[in-house]
Structure 1
């Protein structure tokens, strides 16, 4: 079964065709990085306008690989969560396309899509498992019981992990996008040079909080400026990255070891899954704890439509289809 996926929840306009939830036939992404770089972050209104300009050509390119819309079986689209204006562009386009071609319309939750990215990179992966989803807008630990049955174990109480990286990059004057630039700079620094706080909750062991480490790096940079001390940016980036990656790794491993899983499996997904320190740290921890680790290819960590098409296949398999009344939702 071939499914066309459409993704427009933030600043990537994407379309892809995936077969049987596992095989990528096409995967087209139009990024808006050069647009938002001028503003130091994503501007929602500008993002929506850019989606409008790109979505038709992106979808046309994705469909060209299969000979057009007649050769797909359904249309899957992200309808939550995300920037509401951006979501509505993709949703409206998908509705029109599905209706005009007489194809089923499948709603897909963005976080489920990120989990499904691992199915595309790891043919042997199947539920149940624990998933750590970390991106600019999300930080969740999820028990994936089946392809469409999820239980949230914990989430962030304030900033998302990716958001904290972006804010740290801004403090260090690295520009946008902050995550990749922090990752590159951290490789040049000493991760043990500065101690930044790690937050744990006795009553909620799987919850995250990154506001404290964000405030710490702001204060550290401010104090350096006030005292005339030269800021060693690589050391700051490396130490900050270690604090964030350690807490993500510790809680993910704890979740796998706490749940009664038939096999100890951990999936790491989302844009922050591309972070080299996190990949290295969580790989070592998984090996030490006898956990099978699954991380998508780097090209599938960020927002893309292949993951939406993949999850759409599993949603469709249980009869989850929508009418043209389907709406978009900014929150989860």
Structure 2
């Protein structure tokens, strides 16, 4: 049986549920919004290993019967029923303990999990993840992480001398909009003294998002004039154009190797293919919002994910 953890009407979770239903895969959904009414009990048997139950308003799950888990949990601190409560409020403390125990189980359960909370932490540092990306064989753009405005100006001048722009974004796992560095940014550059930021030489070419599910890959080519195609309409007034493609075998193999190195059996890898064919990798998303790509191209990511969690190789 597959356990699906998340908000059922959020698009990635909804598509996963629909895929499991369409394939007749035994599954149960835990609606994270029921967190205050849920109870999790775990025991560690020296012979049988982890045992436990997850009880919630729609039933009780024997965790020993779970063979795979799709994890799409939001940060519990921002759940609607506790977001406005003080830090020491009993409901907030209970929720934190519940989620901490759930994460403990997800981190050690000897089953297929997409993906373990401990593994998702690699995305909290772009620089840490970049070392792993490069070790696996992908190129990474020339990068500067700094809180020194003068260092940024020198980097921008260096790239400009070669005819290249510079883009910037958050160095952490916090979602940010990738922007091209311009005059307005130079005027407010002093602000980075309190917020180290990642600057990169802008790579010419086209974007490709690769979703890895186990040992399968699903690639989508993106055509857009925007710096960050996720916000194409805001940045360029036109929607991005998405097309399903087949990547060369070597690139697919490197994506699978990167997924394995990060212990993220389900991940969204952001690539850019240069005009010369060199493959650059920006990052690996540990909990990808794959529904956007699936809805635009029809590639069966949700089906592949549910089948992998159910035990398919």
Provide the TM-score with structure 2 as the length reference: 0.29
Q: Which has the higher helix share?
A: 1
Higher CA-based Rg:
2
Higher relative contact order, chain-length normalized (CA < 8 Å, sep 6+): 1
Relative to the length of structure 1, the TM-score reads 0.28
